[in-house]
């Protein structure tokens, strides 16, 4: 199986992630300033695939800042697979997210 690892960086903050799916990523390493821990599962706050996020904008930043991530599951934030799927489906942090039925 191909490992889809990539790096997000901006202003000295850096994350190395592995794609679990297009919109769900696992943290492989993180600088302390990001607040994320190794093993956390995150997703972008806006709808963006991992391929789009890893794109390099210039020498100092990638297309997605490490600040633009939402914690789905990690230490102190345990969620079941069903809860994580519901979060990814409804994305409650987006202002125009559809209301759950």
Domain ranges of the chain: 5-90
Percentages helix, strand, coil for the chain, rounded to the nearest 5?
20, 40, 45
Task: Tell me the pLDDT of the chain (101 aa) as tens digits.
Answer: 457 899 999 988 999 999 999 999 999 999 999 999 999 999 999 888 999 999 988 888 999 999 999 999 998 889 999 999 998 888 888 776 555 54
For residues 3 and 61, what is the distance between their CA atoms, to the nearest angstrom? 22
**Structure confidence at residue 77 (pLDDT):** 87
**Structure confidence at residue 75 (pLDDT):** 87
- Predicted structure pTM score: 0.82
């Amino acid at each position: 199986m191909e490992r889809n690892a990539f790096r997000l960086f901006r202003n000295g903050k850096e994350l190395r992630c592995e794609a679990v799916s297009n919109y769900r990523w696992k943290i492989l390493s993180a600088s302390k300033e990001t607040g994320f821990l190794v093993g956390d599962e995150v997703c972008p706050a806006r709808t963006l695939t991992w391929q789009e996020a890893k794109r390099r904008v210039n020498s100092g930043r990638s297309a997605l800042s490490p600040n633009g991530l939402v914690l789905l599951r990690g230490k102190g934030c345990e969620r079941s697979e069903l809860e994580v799927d519901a979060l990814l489906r409804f994305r409650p942090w987006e202002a125009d997210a559809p209301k759950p039925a």
